[in-house]
Amino acid sequence: MDRFLYVSMSGAKETLRAQTANNHNLANASTTGFRADLSAFQTRAVEGSGYASRAYATNATTGWDPSQGTLQTTGRDLDVGINGEGWIAVQGADGREAYTRAGDLRIDPSGLLKTGTGLQVLGDGGPLSVPPNASVQIATDGSVSIVPLGQGPETTATVGRIKLVNPPATGLVRGEDGLFRNVDGSDAPADASVKVAAGMLEGSNVNVADAMVNMIELSRQFDLQVKAMRTAEENGAASAQLLRST
């Protein structure tokens, strides 16, 4: 009876863990540049003395989906979407270089170019600063050009270039802040082959329909495991009653 209960309990626990990962994806279905988490179930033998007759289920995040989300036109000059592979280099809250696909950029009152979440965008020589201007344009190679205040279009000047990188997806790990970094902690070099599209943003690559179906399936699996636990409890109580009556 304890084997039945243990398998049911571990199944319910790991199903909840899978549901957490799936719901996290659903919650970020509209987050700019979000990459969906991937998770999978595995069967593991229960370690210990005696014959290996018991197994239980485990669920773990196995990585993230590197596929590109849909580029959506916004018409805003400071919105940029990476066209193909690549990342925008930013400075994380810990001061380290990190990477994101979220190109909803802003210029703060001090002139620093930042993401929509307030992270400083890095250029070739550190955080990118934009002087007061009448207009800003971002080229496909990440170059940032401005028309100075009070001047005409003929005075357009390039003030810097966004650092665009393209490290191997297998060498990147997502942090708790949602940013990606090299596993070995190094900074990726700038890659001139990475191109951006101005006036566009990349949407999340979460497939909402698949995530909804998966949520329903996991919910049913959890209910099944709970019912099995109740059955194990009822069987145990019935067995105890039989022993007391004999």
Q: Which residues contact 209 (CB under 8 A, 6 or more apart)?
A: none
Going from N- to C-terminal start, the domains of the chain cover 2-66+206-245, 71-202
Mean pLDDT, the chain, whole residue set:
89
Task: Please say if the pLDDT value at position 53 is more than 80.
Answer: no
pTM: 0.81
Distance, in Å, from the CA atom of 14 to the CA atom of 21, rounded to the nearest integer, reads 11
pLDDT digits 0-9 by tens, 20-38: 999 999 999 999 999 999 8
Task: Please say if the pLDDT value at position 56 is more than 80.
Answer: no
What sign does the dihedral 106-109-113-119 (CA atoms) show? negative
Task: Please say if the pLDDT value at position 1 is more than 60.
Answer: no
Q: Name the least confident of 5-14, 104-113, 139-148, 163-172.
A: 5-14
> Residues 144-157: what's their mean pLDDT?
87
pLDDT digits 0-9 by tens, 179-214: 999 999 999 999 999 999 999 999 999 999 999 999
